[in-house]
Amino acid sequence: MVRGLLNNLATKSIKVAGKWQQQQLRRLNIHEYQGAELMSKYGINVPKGVAVSSVEEVRKAIQTTFPNEKELVVKSQILAGGRGLGTFTSGLQGGVHIVNIDLAEEIAGKMLGQTLVTKQTGPQGKVVSKVYLCEKVSLVNEMYFAITLDRTTAGPLIIACREGGTSIEDLAEKFPDMIIKVPIDVFKGITDEDAAKVVDGLAPKVADRDASIEQVKKLYNLFRECDCTQLEINPIAETSDNKLVAADAKLNFDDNAAFRQKEIFALRDPTQEDPREVAAAKADLNYIGLDGEIGCMVNGAGLAMATMDIIKLHGGTPANFLDVGGNASEGQVVEAFKILTSDDKVKAILVNIFGGIMKCDVIASGIVNAAKQVALKVPVVVRLEGTNVDQGKRILKESGMTLITAEDLDDAAEKAVKALK
């Protein structure tokens, strides 16, 4: 329940009408190895590790970074949780392995370049481009720690549990009293009393209490100073040398803070993101990729959502959420069409424009120019209404394009669904 809520902040895989729909919200997600490096800069205890992208780099890392280690933890790096219980399409079970040092190269080689499927990736999985090699730390106790943003308290909320390393959702359902929540006053910041409550909730057995309180404060400082939307450590663990260590971490950052977090946002891995969304971001379009069959281009988020709903009402499935906004240029409209037509699953396109600030003639010119640059092989349904609607309709008519026109939104959605057949 708790972890599921946190994960939904970053990525959602939902099943609609028997089909997986991948929805990614625009909050920067970084790899585990990048998060570990960032936490280390803030004085947070993390296991020694190094990220590699080839078998040759594995061999070099063992010689230079782990010359005296007998065992290593080999972790596949994808932007999704559930790696340990995931399965590679090649048949290899598990995206996290503890192995003898002489087997690390072999296991890493079986992960690199392969697709890992977990509960959070959907059935399509994600390609592993990097593997994180970590020292095997002797853990004596595993706990759960997270910081997220809470609407109820309008500020950061620290969540802790004395059990960790396993499904926090199951623990929260079976033993809700084990989950403690400590809201932080965003103006005062974290106090010693707040941090002490969190440590008491973690209930460490061997780690020094004062040192643990300092670690909690450092984690909060990272969350605040780096504009995080989520910081989750599962497990946060105690080691045999009585330290509190972040053994695994997931961090997300607010995209609205990209202008002041340039170093962090330079860590973005576009290969792990939907390529359609990457292209849309470059064109400054509001786009979320789904897995339906009807591509949508709409102006205004509310109208876009209504368009998707009515497509569903008529038995279709939307391929995307695409809001071109109120001041899109003709070039942005062309880019939007390129994105829609690049999706092989799109079997029809529905353009629904209600011209207020956005002018219908600009949309129409964009559609015509897009048709010149992209071979339109699917039916296009167009509904235009509002500012300069007559000019827009004239541009489309004089273009000679084969379009399906609609009088209103309901008519447009019905025609788009029928065009699939």
Please check if 292 is assigned to a binding site: no
Please check if 323 is assigned to a binding site: no
Please check if 325 is assigned to a binding site: no
Six-digit token string for 333:
């409209």
| CA dist list (Å): 182 to 5, 160, 190, 197, 222 | 16, 8, 10, 7, 17
| CA dist list (Å): 222 to 21, 151, 157 | 33, 20, 14
Please check if 256 is assigned to a binding site: no
Tell me how crowded residue 177 is: count the other CB atoms within 10 A of its CB: 5
| Distance of alpha carbon 365 from alpha carbon 396, whole angstroms | 8
Please check if 248 is assigned to a binding site: yes
Please check if 81 is assigned to a binding site: no
Contacts of 96 (CB under 8 A, 6+ apart): 73, 74, 75, 76, 83, 84
Q: Are strands 49-52 and 130-135 parallel, antiparallel or unpaired?
A: antiparallel
In the chain, what is the straight-line distance between the N-terminal and C-terminal CA atoms, in Å? 41
Please check if 255 is assigned to a binding site: no
Give bridge partners of residue 354 from the DSSP assignment: 385
Sign of the Cα torsion 29, 319, 339, 393 reads: negative
Please check if 299 is assigned to a binding site: yes
Six-digit token string for 367:
């559609």
Six-digit token string for 114:
């392969």
Catalytic residue among 33, 144, 220, 287: 144
Six-digit token string for 80:
């999704």
CA 114 to the chain's CA centroid: 20
SS3 helix, strand, coil % of the chain, rounded to 5?
A: 35, 30, 35
42 is catalytic: no
DSSP annotation of 318 reads: B
DSSP annotation of 152 reads: T
| Distance of alpha carbon 248 from alpha carbon 269, whole angstroms | 19
Please check if 363 is assigned to a binding site: no
Helix (H) or strand (E) holding 382: strand 380-386
Tell me how crowded residue 328 is: count the other CB atoms within 10 A of its CB: 24
Contacts of 390 (CB under 8 A, 6+ apart): none
Catalytic residue among 232, 238, 293, 414: 232
- Give the length of the chain: 421
Q: How many CA atoms lie within 13 A of 89 on its CB side?
A: 14
Please check if 142 is assigned to a binding site: yes
144 is catalytic: yes
- Cis amide prior to 235 (ω within 30 degrees): yes
Please check if 297 is assigned to a binding site: no
What is the set of active-site residues? 144, 232
List binding-site positions for substrate. 299, 356-358
List binding-site positions for Mg(2+). 234, 248
List binding-site positions. 75, 82-84, 142, 234, 248, 299, 356-358
